[in-house]
Amino acid sequence: MIPTTSTEPLQLDYDAYSLGNSLLIHADCFEWMSRISECSLHAIVTDPPYGVKEYDFDQLEKRSNGKGGIWRIPPSFDGHTRAPLPRFTALNEKERVTLRRFFVEWAKLAVRVLRPGGHVFIASNAFLSQMVFGALVEGGLEFRGEIIRLVRTLRGGDRPKNAEKEFIDVSSMPRGCYEPWGLLRKPLPTGMKVSDCLRRFQTGGLRRRASGLPFEDVIESERTPQAERRIAHHPSLKPQSFLRRIVQAALPLGEGTIFDPFMGSGSTVAACEAMKLRGIGTERFADYFAIARKAVSRLAALSVRESTQPGLF
Ligand SMILES: C[S@@+](CC[C@H](N)C(=O)[O-])C[C@H]1O[C@@H](n2cnc3c(N)ncnc32)[C@H](O)[C@@H]1O
């Protein structure tokens, strides 16, 4: 049986905060996803802890003490102080196995809670995407491609460490200029066509832009603007301009519920609110949950680049 689309039964017994169409829940997503009714959600849009452990409580403590751990302080080559970034390349073999297992188990739960045909948009990075997407497929999701978010990051492009002068014409790896987002889907029931899936579950396809053009898989993006960072102080805050395009595409008929299991400061839910869609987020770290409670309505109220406004999509 497919549950109704009201968010109320999804709160269960967790501390939660509702605003507009949306609901923020202070919960571990693994636990919450195993407890709610099956097939409750239409889409997932999320930015998970890529290195799995960078959001463990001990690592967050090291980050706030400036003590490192998996968080590294980028070099200050132009007089500006930069925020710590997680070191994905620092994962050893054992941690990679753990990471894979994390995403296999998570995908099984995503298959449980999504309606058939429900899409998953999941942020990744160029080091780990092949492993993460493979694990998601192993967990039961169908790979449907990638969204390339064009954005210049600070990673990569450096000369070999401690031999910079010797190998002046060499970079260890390319300068990062994009962020890959996995696009996956809960498989449609055998023999079911997309049109049938849309009729029965309101899922299966992607919403076109208001112009009638299809959603495209390369999106010119930007680093998260300062105005958004001032509202939501989270190390992995994603920009509203990008997220609003993603959430708009995620519900093919413009109806249903979008879930962000790793909500952080609530940027995905804010994008849903801005686009007049229903969003639900879970966050297990109390400090980030508290930030999200305050930030979502303020992020949603921001006007961003014209092309991301609801009527102009
Ligand atoms: C990469 S950040 C997402 C940040 C978000 N994109 C934003 O704009 O604020 C991942 C978040 O997932 C949270 N997290 C990690 N494991 C979790 C779990 N099992 N359940 C719920 N939240 C979790 C972390 O505390 C962190 O805030």
- Render pLDDT for 102-115 as a digit per residue (tens, 0 to 9): 999 999 999 999 99
Q: What is the mean pLDDT of residues 163-180?
A: 94
Please name which of 272, 144, 138 lies closest in space to residue 205, comparing C-alpha atoms: 144
The pLDDT value given to residue 70 = 58
Say if residue 309's pLDDT is above 60. no
> Ligand 1 centre and the CA of 25: distance in Å?
12
Q: How confident is the model at residue 313 (pLDDT cuts 50, 70, 90)?
A: very low
> Ligand 1 centre and the CA of 310: distance in Å?
26
Q: How confident is the model at residue 44 (pLDDT cuts 50, 70, 90)?
A: very high
Could you tell me the two tokens for 166?
């010797």
Residues 203-234 have pLDDT tens digits of 999 999 989 999 999 999 999 999 999 999 99
> Ligand 1 centre and the CA of 269: distance in Å?
13
Nearest CA to ligand 1 atom 26: 264
Specify the pTM.
0.88
Best mutation site among 61, 179, 258, 262 for ligand 1, i.e. most ligand atoms within 8 A of its Cβ?
262
Q: Are strands 22-26 and 278-283 parallel, antiparallel or unpaired?
A: parallel
Residues 6 or more apart whose CB falls under 8 angstroms from that of 302 comprise 227, 228, 231, 240, 274
Residues 6 or more apart whose CB falls under 8 angstroms from that of 132 comprise 50, 99, 103, 122, 124, 182
Ligand 1 site, CB within 6 A: 28-30, 47, 49, 55, 234, 236-238, 261-262, 264-265, 267, 282-285, 288
Q: How many other C-beta atoms are found inside a 10 Å radius of the C-beta of residue 181?
A: 23
Atom of ligand 1 nearest to the CA of 291: 9
Residues 6 or more apart whose CB falls under 8 angstroms from that of 257 comprise 5, 7, 40, 41, 42, 43, 278, 279, 280
Q: How confident is the model at residue 310 (pLDDT cuts 50, 70, 90)?
A: very low
Atom of ligand 1 nearest to the CA of 60: 25
The CA distance from 187 to 8, in Å, is 27
> What is the percent of the chain where pLDDT is above 70?
81
